[in-house]
């Protein structure tokens, strides 16, 4: 079980490492191709916003995908502070731009550029400044500049409880002032597109990874400064038509709205994604109606990583700029212009090349950001469960006691307990101080005492046998008066033949008179030497039935002292004192 859990855990770890490596590779920003007009493919990138790397699926080359025509370069932004541009408007003198979110105060400004994209002035914000600026818009009279501080990336550790817009005179005569807003349901949203209606109220359009975008506007007059946010209300949903334009973010790049603009005459509005520009006709100033019910004209864009869009002062062209924070440091930041398309969206369902396009796309091409997020989360949850199960199994196995029949090394051993015996097969074991039978009895214990399992304990010094015999010890080879087998005479130094041994007793050496194998069921325990008063005691010199042997008397057998206790030698004795004559290795007879 432990090996299985370990194997599964290791396999899961390898899978997690593979997913992490793939996600890191996919999330890496892709350098743009400055030489070609086609947006990069086979890449992945991130949604804009603070810490905006959002891992997305790899981009397919897309067999038959629409190839956008290259935009016409207007100028190149060279100021090092302007590498993450996300908002753009066009003026008669040039351009106004803002950066995406940044922690550098030098970049938290509104920048005015001339027609050559050189910074002419920069205006700081009032108060503590913005959190995550995303888009710029001009009022219908083109006198007020509005700034959308509405970015709230889905990868942010802490989502925003409120958003804001800033307003300032377009001629930069005053600093931008703050207007706080909040969504009606309190749920956070990322929004990167801003339009200004005929009522001079902002229209905020959310950025989604799939499905419909939402349109919100303040539900009351705006407040200025550090006040409580004005609640917003939802006006409708925007669902962009499907396209097959190549872009760095594949399917997500064709859905996520990153910028918006209104034409100088107010009769058209345009929304842009990373792939296309969608231009709608506006009737009677009804921007929301145009976006929610109208059919747009689609212009494919070839920006490396475009987020901003604006109309030219004459309304005849779109102008765009890319967020170079996702490009290589040496890649230029160009303001490009496109001629709006006059064609509506392509009906991809009737496209004769649709089957080829589908065949050329991988599984990941159709995944949205939510799909990828759920997929990675599922793998993570499964991994956590398996790791937890493995740890639980290991801890439980360590606490589990060793099962019966197993030793410390998990090897087999006898299932029989040490204190159980088989009368038919067990050899006799010597008793201590008069223990009889296979196991000596406890000193003073009753010979009739029953052991667990029915085994009977042997007699001890002075204990009277059950058959009414004398108080002698059970028969068996021993010292200090131990008797021989029944019917035999093998005394040593005064030992008596068969002294006190119950009939039918088997042989077996003991200590201090331990008897041999008992005729009845073996048993018994530890014995102690008898004290005094009516019980048999170890024989004294000259006064008992036997003494320790002094001289050899066991026969001419050759001595073998292996495995025996060391003895004391006497000059007049051929054997060591305390060892029986002829004893050999493994001898379990008399011991002193």
CA–CA dist 354, 223 (Å, integer): 51
Could you count the other beta carbons within 10 Å of the beta carbon of residue 328?
Answer: 12
At 558, the pLDDT band (50, 70, 90 cuts) reads: low
pLDDT of residue 557: 52
At 429, the pLDDT band (50, 70, 90 cuts) reads: very low
pLDDT of residue 199: 95
Closest Cα partner for 150 from 177, 171, 130?
130
* Predicted confidence (pLDDT) per residue in 86-138, tens digit: 999 999 999 999 998 778 889 999 999 999 999 999 999 998 899 999 999 99
Residue pair 458/442 in contact (Cβ under 8 Å)? The answer is: no
Distances (CA, A) of 163 to 138, 286, 374, 423: 19, 24, 27, 92
* Predicted confidence (pLDDT) per residue in 28-77, tens digit: 444 333 333 333 333 333 333 333 433 333 333 333 456 678 999 999 99
Q: Which residue has the tokens 């021993």?
A: 478
**By three-state DSSP, how is residue 452 classified?**
helix
Q: Is the pLDDT of residue 335 over 70?
A: yes
Q: What is the DSSP secondary-structure string of 406-425?
A: B-TTS-B--SS-TT---TTT
Residue pair 258/84 in contact (Cβ under 8 Å)? The answer is: no
Q: Which residue has the tokens 């990322």?
A: 190
Full-model pTM: 0.55
Could you count the other beta carbons within 10 Å of the beta carbon of residue 504?
Answer: 11
Could you count the other beta carbons within 10 Å of the beta carbon of residue 400?
Answer: 8
Q: Of the ranges 181-190, 339-348, 410-419, which one carries the lowest mean pLDDT score?
A: 410-419
Kindly state the average pLDDT of the residues 548-563: 51
Q: Tell me the domain boundaries of the chain.
A: 72-347
* Predicted confidence (pLDDT) per residue in 288-306, tens digit: 999 999 999 999 999 989 9
Residue, of 257 and 48, whose pLDDT is higher: 257
Q: Is the pLDDT of residue 282 over 50?
A: yes
Residue pair 263/281 in contact (Cβ under 8 Å)? The answer is: no
CA–CA dist 331, 515 (Å, integer): 103
Q: Is the pLDDT of residue 268 over 90?
A: yes
State what percent of residues in the chain have pLDDT above 70.
52
Q: What are 383's two structure tokens?
A: 């991994």
Kindly state the average pLDDT of the residues 543-559: 50
Q: Is the pLDDT of residue 80 over 90?
A: yes
pLDDT mean across residues, the chain: 71
**By three-state DSSP, how is residue 253 classified?**
helix
Kindly state the average pLDDT of the residues 340-347: 92
Q: What are 484's two structure tokens?
A: 């021989």
Half-sphere exposure of 308 (CA within 13 A, CB side): 33
At the second CATH level, the architecture of 72-347 is 6 Propeller (2.120)
Choose from 269-283, 465-479, 504-518 the range with maximum mean pLDDT: 269-283
Kindly state the average pLDDT of the residues 179-198: 96
pLDDT of residue 42: 32
Backbone angles phi, psi at 454, to 5 degrees: 95, 0
* Predicted confidence (pLDDT) per residue in 449-472, tens digit: 444 444 444 444 444 444 444 444
Sign of CA dihedral 509, 515, 517, 523: negative
* CA 328 from centroid of its chain's CA atoms: 34
Q: What angle do CA 434, 435, 438 make, to 5 degrees?
A: 145
CA–CA dist 318, 462 (Å, integer): 121
* Predicted confidence (pLDDT) per residue in 352-372, tens digit: 444 445 455 555 555 555 667
CA-based end-to-end distance of the chain:
53
At 375, the pLDDT band (50, 70, 90 cuts) reads: confident
CA–CA dist 98, 111 (Å, integer): 6
* Predicted confidence (pLDDT) per residue in 63-72, tens digit: 345 667 899 9
Q: Do β-strands 72-77 and 333-338 pair in parallel, antiparallel, or remain unpaired? A: antiparallel
Q: Is the pLDDT of residue 492 over 80?
A: no
Residues 6+ apart with CB under 8 A from 77: 85, 97, 113, 117, 321, 332, 333, 334, 335
Residue pair 237/213 in contact (Cβ under 8 Å)? The answer is: yes
Residue, of 284 and 376, whose pLDDT is higher: 284
Q: Of the ranges 199-203, 233-237, 245-249, 314-318, which one carries the lowest mean pLDDT score?
A: 245-249
CA–CA dist 319, 71 (Å, integer): 9
């Amino acid at each position: 079980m432990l090996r299985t859990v370990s194997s599964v855990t290791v396999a899961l770890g390898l899978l997690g490492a593979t997913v992490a490596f793939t996600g890191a590779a996919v999330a890496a920003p892709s350098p743009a191709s400055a030489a070609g007009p086609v947006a990069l493919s086979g890449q992945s990138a991130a949604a804009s916003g603070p810490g905006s790397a959002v891992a997305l699926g790899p981009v397919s080359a897309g067999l038959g995908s629409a190839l956008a025509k290259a935009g016409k370069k207007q100028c190149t932004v060279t100021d090092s502070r302007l590498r993450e541009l996300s908002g753009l408007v066009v003026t008669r003198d040039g351009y106004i731009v803002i950066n995406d979110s940044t922690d550098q105060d030098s970049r938290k400004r509104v920048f005015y550029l001339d027609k050559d994209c050189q910074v002419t002035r920069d205006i700081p914000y009032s108060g503590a400044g913005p959190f995550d600026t995303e888009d710029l818009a001009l009022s219908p009279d083109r006198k007020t500049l509005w700034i959308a501080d509405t970015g709230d990336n889905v990868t942010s550790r802490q989502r925003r409880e409120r958003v804001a817009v800033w307003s300032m005179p377009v001629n930069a005569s005053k600093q931008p002032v703050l207007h706080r807003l909040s969504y009606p349901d309190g749920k956070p949203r990322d929004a990167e597109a801003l339009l200004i209606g005929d009522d001079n109220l902002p229209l905020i359009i959310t950025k989604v990874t799939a499905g419909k975008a939402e349109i919100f506007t303040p539900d009351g007059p705006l407040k200025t400064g550090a006040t409580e946010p004005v609640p917003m209300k939802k006006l409708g949903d925007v669902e962009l038509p499907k396209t097959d334009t190549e872009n760095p973010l594949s399917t997500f790049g064709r859905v996520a709205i990153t910028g918006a603009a209104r034409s100088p005459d107010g009769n058209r509005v345009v929304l842009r994604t990373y792939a296309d520009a969608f231009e709608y006709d506006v009737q009677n100033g009804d921007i929301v109606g145009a976006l929610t019910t109208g059919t747009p004209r689609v212009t494919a864009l070839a920006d490396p990583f475009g987020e901003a869009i604006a109309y030219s002062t004459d309304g005849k062209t779109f102008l765009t700029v890319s967020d170079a924070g996702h490009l290589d440091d040496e890649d230029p930041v160009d303001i490009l212009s496109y001629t709006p398309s006059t064609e509506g969206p392509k009906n991809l369902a009737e496209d004769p090349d649709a089957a080829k396009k589908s065949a050329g796309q991988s599984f990941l091409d159709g995944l949205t950001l939510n799909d990828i997020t759920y997929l990675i989360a599922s793998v993570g949850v499964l991994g956590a469960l398996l790791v937890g199960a493995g740890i639980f199994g290991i801890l439980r196995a360590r606490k589990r006691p060793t099962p019966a029949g197993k030793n410390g090394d998990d090897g087999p051993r006898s299932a029989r307990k040490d204190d159980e015996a088989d009368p038919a097969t067990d050899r006799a074991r010597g008793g201590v101080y008069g223990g009889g039978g296979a196991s000596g009895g406890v000193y003073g214990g009753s010979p009739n005492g029953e052991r667990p399992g029915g085994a009977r304990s042997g007699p001890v010094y002075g204990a009277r046998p059950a058959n009414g015999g004398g108080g002698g010890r059970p028969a068996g080879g021993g010292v200090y008066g131990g008797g021989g087998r029944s019917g035999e005479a093998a005394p040593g130094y005064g030992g008596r033949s068969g002294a006190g041994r119950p009939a039918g007793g088997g042989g077996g050496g003991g200590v201090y008179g331990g008897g041999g194998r008992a005729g009845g069921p073996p048993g018994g325990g530890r014995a102690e030497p008898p004290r005094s008063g009516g019980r048999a005691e170890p024989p004294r010199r000259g006064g008992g039935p036997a003494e320790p042997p002094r001289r050899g008397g066991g026969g001419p057998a050759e001595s073998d002292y292996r495995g025996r206790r060391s003895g004391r030698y006497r000059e007049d004795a051929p054997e060591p004192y305390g060892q029986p004559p002829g004893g050999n290795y493994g001898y379990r007879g008399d011991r002193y």
